[in-house]
Chain A
Amino acid sequence: MLWKPIRLVPAHTTFDFMGKRKIALVLSTLINVLSLVGVFAIGLNFGIDFEGGIAIQARAKEGTIHLDELRATTGALGVGEVSLQEFGDNRTALIRVQRQEGNAACVAHADTVMKKRAGSGWSVKPSPDPKVGDVEFTAPSTLDSAGWRDAVSRVGLTVQERQLPRANTNTVKIEMTPEQRAEWCQQVAIKLVEDAIGSKYELRGTESVGPKIGSELMHSGVIAVVVTLAAIAVYVWFRFEWQFGVGALIAMLHDVISTVGLFVVLQLDFSLTALAAVLTIAGYSINDTVVVFDRVRENMRRYKKMGLVELLNFSINETLARTLMTSMTVFVAVLALVLFGGPVLYSFSIAMLWGVIVGTYSSVWIACAGLVYLKLRPEQLRPDDDKAKVKA
């Protein structure tokens, strides 16, 4: 043999896990309450996926980025809140612009962009009635409908010819609902930023999420989390007993809430990938839990006289090696993602790393301690239908 396997975890441990359950309970409650308080008091740093808005990755054409200069330039545009950060390396900046309202300021921006891109003879004006989103364009000369369509596309507005007059005119009123105008204003803001920084920066990627889609993604994200947790809990309930299902559910909630808490504390970008991380953590943390539960069930059938706390301690110690080993394999894989996965995956990877740790912790202390408080007894177990097979 080339080398002997190293046992990272001793084969026999007799750690009193359940004896520490009160400390764990206090600690976990504290973390979870603080996480929830943090969400409401400080708030998550929502990415544009959920809030709507614009994210632009800009790379300096020469040298490194100057965040102060960029901040001054973009802040003066009047497109609302702009946040800046270095992204990946010191040549690239991530510029985030808040979701645009379809207000008069946006039409004024459109006017600026139009004048810059098409000439000073052009103008864009909002409709006098604030309840409708109509916008009036004026050109220096008369244009036909195709010409108008080209012209308005310079400010990111896509219209059909039949929305335009058939006769040649030099003013055009485009009818829009306020909602449609709000979506268009996103395009206007992108062009405005483009014009302002275009000379010094190259835009490598642009993302724009309109006001409507953002709230929808938020909605479906919440549903996804709820449904996933419920589905997994029901699965565990069917495979084991309801006490196990409840224990698993509490453990998952613990992991999900504390992961969200991590996002609050580190102010990581909470985007769709972050949501993916939360769901994966829920699915992954249950892995360890199931392994422990499986052993608890097996031992309960074997040692019918043993007290629950003692039995849980015994089972956890028996499975401790695999609980820690499985977590470590995922931990090293995720570590590679954190270190080399690049800026886009950064929030995701950090969350996963945290999830692996907290998931391991929760399967021991939260899920199993739950069984103690739910007063699981051996006679509540279903008869063992696997037994005959195992004996064979």
Chain B
Amino acid sequence: MLNLPRWQTLAIIIVTALAGIFALPNILPDSVDNLLPKWYSQNRINLGLDLRGGAHFLLEADLRGVMNERLTNLADSLRGEFRKQQVGYKSIDVDQGKQVVVVLRDAGQRAKALEAIRAVDATMAVGGDGDAITLAYQGQELFKKRQEVIDQSIEILRRRVDETGTIEPTIVREGDDRILLQVPGIKDTTELKRKINQTAKLTFHLVDEATAMSGQNVPAVLPPTTMLVPTREGMAALRANNPKAFEQIQSANPKMTPEQICRRFQPPCLPVFKRVIVGGEDLDDAKSTFENQQNGGRPIIAFTFNSAGGRSFCAATRANIGKRLAIQLDNEIISAPVVQSAICGGSGIITGQFTTQQTQEQALLLRSGALPATLTIIEERTVGADLGADAIHAGTVAAVVGTALVVLFMLATYGPTFGGFASLAMIVNLLLVLAGMSILGASLTLPGIAGLVLTVGMSVDSNVLIYERVREEKAAGRSPFSALATGYERALTAVIDSNLTALIAGVLLFGFGSGPIRGFATSLSLGLVTHLFTATVFTRMLLAAWVRWRRPTALPI
């Protein structure tokens, strides 16, 4: 049967209409677009970096360096612990960032040495025999640590890039030890590259409780040793509620001090002493963990200082129990926990009514002083905005000309009715692809435009297969209606097979490719899928309606 059930016809019309609605903002000229409501007209496909201009970096984190450093720290702690426990050793060395090798003076002390090792870090995999002990991270532990390093690097990078005031940067993990950074619209990458490995300013200050007691958010007069610093939540609220103010702060030259920001825009602020107790460079690690079950098992933040940091922290906390200690990161206070007891020995915890998500975020912020691993640029691509504009122009012309040629070709070879329907289906298919890319949030790249042009050429192919079959059936003496019905029916397997094989190539290309090539694979694959719909169902609906209306005695094909 050629006719489709009514619900199918309805579904086809709805899908086509939706495609048109989603695709429209991408096609309309700007002058018309501006007349439409913003929430609708902004619903456009993202342009890839090669079209809008911008910078693309692939950064590699030096994980071996990080592991080497961590193992070196571990070796240091081991030396201390061995001295304390009176374990004699010949040497403790770090081997290539992979393991720590301990050689004992006396193999008989092995048990005692192992105990000391467990006291320092119980998660290590211990090996070796006799007087030799090797320590390495366990597979899973190593994986987790590497993951942490990359996650942390991404978070820090995001802060760094946000500072440059660029919009919509993409920062994602790529593979095992890489980070992809894409910054649209940036002209000069020198500043950005300089920022990439910059260290954030993380400092610990005591809160000036006397001033805070006054109850005013921004007191008119401050003691000379005290400064006002906005809280992180306060700045986030300001950014959301008063974007203009935030912009002013960003673009101010010279940069505004935290106190100026407090006085001018009145976000929630805290008075803290200017004296720095410990700096972020002395903070070794901070992580989200849980309290002992006896204490309630709440999520907490645990942190570790190096020896210098530990000493000053110990002295400051001992003298200020019950007071708040503010942690300042890049001129914002990320938290101000109350000192419960003297924190000596280099490590401490922050407790409170936190959710796991909060402790994780706080730990991440604490660790964001310095990048954990040096990032090396292993791939860089920058495209000037005018170069992108040229590419858009070339791509658009090629797409329009390509479409026009295919339409002409179809009209000439299959006549106004059949050729017209196939062309209409091809246009609807283009709308579907554009709509699909809008919905998926895929980026359109220059190779992506090439994919669209190919889609145009390939999407009429299925109509060609069907029409040729119809011609055959017509020649075999079938009535118009029957020729159409069997034509659609019999061509279907060839249509599906030929598209699926092309789709295999498209999907694999997406899997192996990167950047612009993915754009190509996306538009091509999407086009192949959607055109299965337009070529078979959509044109069939049109032809069925046409046959009912004209009741042709002979098919004009």
Contact A149 B198 (CB under 8 A): yes
List the A side residues contacting B399 at CB < 8 Å: 336
A204 to B53 alpha-carbon distance, docked (Å)? 10
List the A side residues contacting B397 at CB < 8 Å: 340
26 A-B pairs whose Cβ atoms sit less than 8 Å apart in the complex: A6-B412, A149-B198, A153-B193, A158-B196, A162-B370, A183-B378, A208-B377, A212-B60, A213-B379, A224-B512, A232-B505, A273-B450, A276-B520, A286-B502, A291-B498, A319-B468, A325-B468, A326-B465, A329-B406, A329-B458, A329-B460, A332-B405, A333-B403, A333-B453, A340-B401, A349-B450
A206 to B198 alpha-carbon distance, docked (Å)? 23
A331 to B464 alpha-carbon distance, docked (Å)? 14
Contact B490 A390 (CB under 8 A): yes
Residues 396-418 of chain B: 1 if any A CB is under 8 Å from the residue's CB, otherwise 0?
A: 01110111011001101111111
Q: Which of A5, A203, A221 makes the CB contact (< 8 A) with B512?
A: A221
List the B side residues contacting A6 at CB < 8 Å: 412-413
Residues 375-395 of chain B: 1 if any A CB is under 8 Å from the residue's CB, otherwise 0?
A: 111111111101100110011
Contact A344 B376 (CB under 8 A): no
For residue A190, which residue of chain B has the nearest CB? B380
17 further A-B pairs in the complex, CB-CB below 8 A; given A5-B415, A184-B376, A342-B394: A1-B416, A11-B475, A149-B198, A158-B377, A160-B197, A161-B281, A187-B377, A205-B382, A207-B381, A207-B382, A224-B508, A224-B511, A272-B515, A329-B457, A332-B409, A335-B405, A341-B394
Task: Assess A273 versus B394: contact at CB under 8 Å? Given A204-B384, A333-B456.
Answer: no
Measured CB to CB, the closest approach of chain A to B526, in angstroms, equals: 14
A332 to B93 alpha-carbon distance, docked (Å)? 68
Residues 229-244 of chain A: 1 if any B CB is under 8 Å from the residue's CB, otherwise 0?
A: 0011001100100000
Residues 36-57 of chain A: 1 if any B CB is under 8 Å from the residue's CB, otherwise 0?
A: 0000000000000000000001
A334 to B456 alpha-carbon distance, docked (Å)? 10
B62 within 8 A of A: yes
The stretch of A27-35, A78-86, A260-268, A277-285 in contact with B is A277-285
List the A side residues contacting B515 at CB < 8 Å: 272
For residue B446, which residue of chain A has the nearest CB? A344
Contact A273 B447 (CB under 8 A): yes
Contact B516 A232 (CB under 8 A): no
B90 within 8 A of A: no
Contact B494 A290 (CB under 8 A): yes
List the A side residues contacting B458 at CB < 8 Å: 284, 287, 329-330
Measured CB to CB, the closest approach of chain B to A296, in angstroms, equals: 11
Measured CB to CB, the closest approach of chain A to B493, in angstroms, equals: 6
A288 to B464 alpha-carbon distance, docked (Å)? 12
A386 within 8 A of B: yes
A169 within 8 A of B: no
B357 within 8 A of A: no
Q: Which residues of B (451-480) have their CB < 8 Å from a CB of A?
A: 453-454, 456-458, 460-461, 464-465, 468, 471-472, 475
Contact A339 B401 (CB under 8 A): yes
List the B side residues contacting A160 at CB < 8 Å: 197, 199, 370-371, 374
A392 to B197 alpha-carbon distance, docked (Å)? 70
Q: Which of B402, B493, B512, B520 has the most A CB atoms < 10 Å from its CB?
A: B512
Contact A7 B199 (CB under 8 A): no
